[in-house]
């Protein structure tokens, strides 16, 4: 039986990351989660961290802005899954540099979780955002890192909290004749 992949998850306490950590540990993979020292003591995110430890995940202290800690964390694994949000997409370059230096990663899953940016025809402002994501893909390729992008389209949960807010629905709720001319 083949050995399970050792997986590092960066962004584990975020919107999607907690589910990736849970799935990885349940699948029996040795799972490592990069966490900042400040995250451990945070009242909200600290609960996630405790849950990770209880599920068998290994906490690796480090930071996206500390290159040496990234390389050290990455050298312990063979798969890196990045689940940072849109606000940190440019920080993905730091991960690319650290993966390249570590030299041991067999597969990188960049933070995509949306449309396939190489196969879309968006208008602004999405067009510019997608161009940035596409540039990150090219940087990953140029670094020679094996990667897979998971394009899942939009997450409904991201939009649902505001979908039925008062005033968000146009009209008074009564059915009207919607004839087209």
Q: What DSSP letter does each residue of 106-136 carry, written as one string?
A: SEEE-S--SS-GGG----TTHHHHHHHHHHH
Residues 105-126 pLDDT 10s: 999 999 876 777 888 888 888 7
* pTM, entire model: 0.81
Residues 139-165 pLDDT 10s: 999 999 999 988 776 655 555 555 555
Q: How far apart are alpha carbons 18 and 118 in whole angstroms?
A: 27
pLDDT at residue 176, as a whole number: 47
pLDDT at residue 90, as a whole number: 82
Which CATH entry fits the domain spanning 7-163: 3.30.470.10, 3.30.70.140, 3.40.50.720, 2.130.10.10?
3.40.50.720
Give domain limits for the chain.
7-163
Q: Could you tell me which residues come within 8 angstroms of residue 70 by beta carbon, excluding any fewer than 6 positions away?
A: 34, 62, 63, 64, 94, 95, 98
What is the distance, to the nearest Å, from the Cα of residue 102 to the centroid of all Cα atoms in its chain? 20
Q: How far apart are alpha carbons 107 and 104 in whole angstroms?
A: 9
Quick one: which of 52, 42, 58, 54 has its CA closest to 20? Answer: 52
For residue 4, the SS3 value is coil
Catalytic residue numbers read 133
Q: Sign of torsion, CA 154 155 158 162?
A: positive
Q: How far apart are alpha carbons 60 and 126 in whole angstroms?
A: 34
């Amino acid at each position: 039986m083949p050995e399970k992949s050792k997986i590092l998850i960066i962004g584990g306490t975020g919107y999607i990351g907690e589910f990736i950590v849970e799935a990885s540990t349940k699948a029996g993979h040795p799972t490592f989660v990069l966490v900042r020292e400040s995250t451990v003591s945070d009242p909200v995110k600290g609960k996630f961290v405790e849950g990770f430890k209880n599920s068998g995940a290994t906490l690796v202290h480090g930071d996206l802005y500390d290159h040496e800690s990234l390389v050290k964390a990455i050298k312990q694994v063979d798969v890196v899954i990045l689940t940072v949000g849109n606000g940190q997409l440019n920080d993905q370059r730091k991960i690319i540099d650290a993966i390249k230096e570590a030299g041991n990663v067999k597969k990188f899953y960049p933070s995509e979780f949306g449309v396939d940016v190489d196969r879309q025809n968006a208008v602004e402002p999405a067009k510019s955002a997608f161009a940035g994501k596409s540039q990150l893909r090219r940087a990953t390729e140029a670094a020679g890192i094996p990667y897979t992008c998971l394009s899942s389209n939009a997450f409904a949960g991201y939009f649902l909290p505001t979908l039925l807010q008062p005033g968000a629905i146009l009209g008074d709720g009564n059915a009207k004749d919607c004839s087209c001319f």
